[in-house]
Structure 1
């Protein structure tokens, strides 16, 4: 998946991701045992950003895990059950998403092609600081600015993508060439690029080995790019907005997951401000992470 997180509200470190591995760069070892120091045993089923450790030879990330026929069938079965429940209760959300409902589930294409319910079509969302729009990354257009952000020392400390531009390019291409389980996006605030996001299927990520994953768990990684945008509370505001957007656009998803580095207190604070709860500390190959969870069931209380 992605690298380590950068901090959202950090004056010194950009915001990390909200949901899948403590840092986008950390990759999980195939053999390392999962250690969970749970602060919330029943809830330690959530996770955060995972960091892709560049120096871990025996590792794999989300994109290294092919979807088996059995897993595709399981996803279809779960989506079908969600669709029937939503249609039976008359919820508008079920009819709004092409990935939910008997018709969509009947097609293998809707499952393989639409693992994240068309992030590109999620559209803009209003926030207290302006309109935010997640736009899927295009290498030729976005590599220069994302590469520049990755070379900020405060960001590099968590994402591990500093250096020549081709390091960032390789990372982006690995996500863009995947089967759709991870979508890298540029965050435009009032039309200005100011953040980098990765929206991914946490339940299909190696991160799922470290917590009791549920079907359709959605992970988020966030990096606040410009130094001037850090330390102003933007991380918590934007994370809340994107978590709400993901829950609106993904009816089958019950939780948004994130795993910032436990040492990155500004990032952890941003997730808490965004309505995430601390579930557990988890040991990942490249870091010790705070497993942060945003529950759909508690959304109206936050």
Structure 2
């Protein structure tokens, strides 16, 4: 399964585990003359059903600019960190996937994100994040004007992860990878994790915790979360990995 985190990291697949799965159909979908629509013939009452399929570019714009489950992430603005000015910028699929694809093919990243290979594999993963009414927003992390990391900010309480731990309403989750090797192993991951976790808590008053689930094998990532003020909560079994559940609490942010 594709990822959770970082430094080189990975994260859970975002399939909806609450879904009952696809219904059987004898005819299957048909293309509608309206464009962007498919017609399903499997309605139990014998009537066709129209499914609207919106392009990822539109969904990316919507995720960044409308008040979905995460709010208007594109309007969160920059924050000052010890490493420089940092901000999250929602991914533009056509423009940003080539860079993300290059990062995914770095062996240190591929070991955990499992998205190495052709560009289409990375593109399909990124596009998939835009489905779910804005509950996950893939972003580039831009440091002093230079894109240098990939993030997925998501509503953990609306994610399949919520089945694996005592989730609270409005819990936010993050996945991260630092793109280039030159930016790793020098404490930058910890700096940015702390900055983004605090940014989420500042911009989302209803959120009391930021969670993450790095692969237990990825010791640099686990160490980075600990250094960023996250605490280790438990080990959890997720599809494809055993993870360390890490939590940054609002009430402890000035202590850890």
Normalising by structure 2, report the TM-score. 0.78
* Alignment deviations for residues 28-78 of structure 1 (CA, whole Å, 9 cap, x no partner): xxxxxxxxxxxxxxxxxxxxxx2x3xxxxxxxx255657xxxxxxxxxxxx
Where does residue 298 of structure 1 map in the other structure?
Answer: 252
In structure 2, C-alpha distance between the alignment counterparts of 1:182 and 1:267, rounded to whole Å: 21
Where does residue 125 of structure 1 map in the other structure?
Answer: 79
Q: Does 1:4 align with 2:30?
A: no
Where does residue 225 of structure 1 map in the other structure?
Answer: 179
Displacement after TM superposition at 1:283 (Å):
1.0
Structure with higher RCO (Cα < 8 A, 6+ apart): 1
Displacement after TM superposition at 1:176 (Å):
2.2
Q: How does 1:60-79 map to 2 (within 5 A)?
A: 61-62=14-15
1:262 corresponds to which of 212, 216, 222? 216
Q: Does 1:273 align with 2:227?
A: yes
* Alignment deviations for residues 244-296 of structure 1 (CA, whole Å, 9 cap, x no partner): 00000000000000000011110000000100000001111210100000000
Q: Does 1:215 align with 2:215?
A: no
Gaps of 5+ in 2: 20-65
For the pair shown, the structure with the greater C-alpha radius of gyration is 2
8 Å CA contact 2:153–2:173 kept in 1: the answer is: yes
Displacement after TM superposition at 1:6 (Å):
3.2
8 Å CA contact 2:236–2:242 kept in 1: the answer is: yes
Where does residue 19 of structure 1 map in the other structure?
Answer: none
Q: List structure 1 segments (4+ residues) > 3 angstroms apart after TM superposition.
A: 62-66
Higher share of residues assigned strand: 2
Higher share of residues assigned helix: 1
In structure 2, C-alpha distance between the alignment counterparts of 1:5 and 1:294, rounded to whole Å: 15
In structure 2, C-alpha distance between the alignment counterparts of 1:196 and 1:262, rounded to whole Å: 20
1:144 corresponds to which of 88, 93, 98? 98
Q: Does 1:234 align with 2:188?
A: yes
Q: How does 1:159-170 map to 2 (within 5 A)?
A: 159-170=113-124
State the SS of the aligned residue for 2:68. coil
State the SS of the aligned residue for 1:300. coil
In structure 2, C-alpha distance between the alignment counterparts of 1:63 and 1:135, rounded to whole Å: 25
Normalising by structure 1, report the TM-score. 0.67
State the SS of the aligned residue for 1:222. strand
CA RMSD of aligned residues (A): 1.7
8 Å CA contact 1:268–1:290 kept in 2: the answer is: yes
In structure 1, C-alpha distance between the alignment counterparts of 2:167 and 2:86, rounded to whole Å: 29
Displacement after TM superposition at 1:200 (Å):
0.1
